[in-house]
Amino acid sequence: MGMRKGLIAVVLGALVAVSASAVYAQGQPDRPGWYVGGSFGLADIGPDDDTAWKIFGGYDINRHFAVEIGYSDLGEVTELGVNTDAEAYEISGLLKFPLNNQFSLFGLAGISNVKAQTSGPLGRVSDDSTEFTWGLGAQMNFSPNFGLRAQWQRYETDTEVDVYSIGALWKF
C-alpha cells in the first residue's frame, strides 16, 4: 500500500506541475527587451575538437525576431606541431518559432569576423576574415527573465567550424 500512495503522490505532483506551467505560460507577456547570456560547448574544428564558449547580448524585437551580437572562443587545436587558436566576433538575426510561451525553436544567420592565430616551428601567422555564420537552436524560458538554450552554429571559414553548446540568458 505504501508503494501505491507514493505513486499517487508522484502522479498528483506531476499534474500540479503541468497545471502550474500551463497557467504560467498563459500569463507570459510577449514583450520586447534586452538580454545577455553565455554558453559553453564543443567546437568541431577540422580533425579535432576543443571546448568553446560564447558571451552574447541581444534585443528581442518581438516574439519572432531578435538581433544578437557576440564573442565566441572557438577553441584551440594542435596538429603536426602546429597550434591554431580561433575566435569570432559576430552579429546575427534570429528567427524564432514559438511552440508556446515557454519553448521556441530558432534559426540564426549573420556575419562573423573570425580571427585565427597559428603558431608552429616556422613562426606565428594571423588570419582575419569576415565570414557567414548560421545555426539552429531551441530555447526554454523558465521565467520572464531566465531561459536556457541548446544550439548548433556553423562558422563558414576555410575549415568549417561547428559549435554545439548549452547556454543561459537573462532578460531585463
Per residue of the chain (172 residues), give pLDDT as tens: 454 555 455 554 544 444 444 444 444 545 789 999 999 999 998 778 899 999 999 999 999 999 999 999 998 887 777 788 899 999 999 999 999 989 999 999 999 999 988 888 787 888 889 999 999 999 999 999 999 999 999 998 877 899 999 999 999 9
| pTM more than 0.85 | no
Q: How far apart are CA 89 and CA 113, in angstroms?
A: 5
The phi, psi pair for 4, rounded to 5°, reads -65, -40
Q: Looking at residue 30, what is its pLDDT? A: 59
Q: How far apart are CA 146 and CA 67, in angstroms?
A: 18
Q: Looking at residue 13, what is its pLDDT? A: 52
Question: What is the secondary structure of 44-64 as a DSSP string?
Answer: EETTEEEEEEEEEEEEE-SSS
